[in-house]
A and B are shown apart, each in its own frame.
Chain A
Amino acid sequence: QSALTQPRSVSGSPGQSVTISCTGTSSDVGGYNYVSWYQQHPGKAPKLMIYDVSKRPSGVPDRFSGSKSGNTASLTISGLQAEDEADYYCYSYAGSYTLVFGGGTKLTVL
Chain B
Amino acid sequence: EVQLVESGGGLVQPGGSLRLSCAASGFTFSNYWMSWVRQAPGKGLEWVANIKQDGSDKYYVDSVKGRFTISRDNAENSLYLQMNSLRAEDTAVYYCARDLRYNDYWGQGTLVTVSS
Contacts and interface: CB of A to CB of B under 8 A. Distances in A.
Interface of A: 1, 3, 32, 34, 36, 38, 40, 45-48, 51-52, 57, 89, 91, 93, 96-104
A101 B59 contact: no
B104 A100 contact: no
A98 B47 contact: yes
Given A1-B61, A34-B101, A45 B44 contact: no
Interface in B41-71: 44-47, 50, 57, 59, 61-62
B102 A46 contact: no
B110 to A, nearest CB: 11
Nearest to A92: B101
Chain B contact patch, size range: 20 to 34
Contacts of B35: 99
A101 B45 contact: yes
B47 A104 contact: no
B84 to A, nearest CB: 21
22 contacts: A3-B44, A38-B103, A45-B108, A45-B109, A47-B106, A52-B101, A52-B102, A57-B104, A89-B44, A91-B45, A91-B47, A93-B100, A97-B100, A98-B47, A98-B59, A99-B35, A99-B47, A99-B50, A99-B100, A101-B46, A102-B44, A104-B45
Contacts of A89: 44-45
Closest 9 CB pairs of A and B: A36-B102, A51-B102, A104-B44, A45-B106, A97-B59, A34-B101, A99-B47, A101-B45, A93-B101
Contacts of A36: 101-103
Contacts of B107: 45
Nearest to B35: A99
A99 B101 contact: yes
A34 B103 CA distance: 11
Contacts of A100: 47
